Structure 1
């Protein structure tokens, strides 16, 4: 039985300890994949505001970028080489730049990735994270990734 793109992504999310600790999940609407960061008190960096920790925000954005690449490569037209457990090997981050636009509030956050370039060796991804309104992001990022080779 062939695994769906969603089941592959959920299995990969479950294998990364920090992503599991963050509680990152995915929500699919049509062909769009949205990453979800459910709020938890452990994610607070500044208890006075309270605001999400900057490292949590960066990790959420980077995870979303990798998920976007996986989503794009698992569409059946191309695939990534498989690792030991029969799951795709993950792209490796070359660089990742985060723009913190405002404080992330103490509530759920959402993010979507847009794959700008997807080649055999290299990929470029833009990510945007929001909370209440998608047109009002609290952080955005640009990342470059080395794609796994067979």
Structure 2
């Protein structure tokens, strides 16, 4: 399977949080972020912004992977992102994966889930709408 560079490098923000490609699952990138002081909010818990950043990064990663698979080039621009915080992220590694719910010519709709120990018990979810603009080369 391709590595993260094939679907575009992680943003400086994502790298600063420690977000990395954990694995691939049926062509979908699974991202992870270890717990440390960079992502800590209240003691021993993830900051909501770090969780949101993981969700957003996973959403863009799945979209970039699919566009690469289709050999489509696009500049991705956020339309909106809505995050639902379901449970506190505790002091251990968090994971996230996205799913494309609609991929059009100019926009995409995505859902993303973040979890820790049990994927069936997400700590947060997000819905994203992304504009896919023509690349300016």
Same fold by TM-score greater than 0.5? yes
Task: Note if contact 2:87-2:124 (Cα within 8 Å) is conserved in structure 1.
Answer: yes
The CA deviation at 1:41 is 2.0
The CA deviation at 1:5 is 5.6
Task: Work out the number of aligned pairs and report it.
Answer: 133
Q: Structure 2: 5+ residue runs without aligned partners?
A: none
| Cα distance in 2 between the residues matched to 1:24 and 1:42 | 11
Partner residue in 2 for 1:85: none
SS at match of 1:132: coil
- Which of 101, 105, 111 is the equivalent residue of 1:126? 111
The structure that has the greater radius of gyration is: 1
| Cα distance in 2 between the residues matched to 1:95 and 1:32 | 22
> Does 2:68 correspond to 1:74?
yes
- How far does the alpha carbon of each residue in 1:66-117 deviate from its partner, in whole angstroms, 9 at most, with x for none? 0010011111x33114xxxxxxx4x111000000001001110111100011
- Which of 16, 19, 28 is the equivalent residue of 2:14? 19
| Cα distance in 2 between the residues matched to 1:127 and 1:137 | 10
Partner residue in 1 for 2:40: 44
Partner residue in 1 for 2:5: 7
| Cα distance in 1 between the residues matched to 2:131 and 2:3 | 21
Task: Note if contact 1:124-1:143 (Cα within 8 Å) is conserved in structure 2.
Answer: yes
Task: Note if contact 1:5-1:71 (Cα within 8 Å) is conserved in structure 2.
Answer: no
Partner residue in 2 for 1:103: 88
> Does 2:84 correspond to 1:92?
no
RMSD of the alignment, in Å? 1.5
TM-score, normalised with respect to structure 2: 0.89
The CA deviation at 1:62 is 0.6
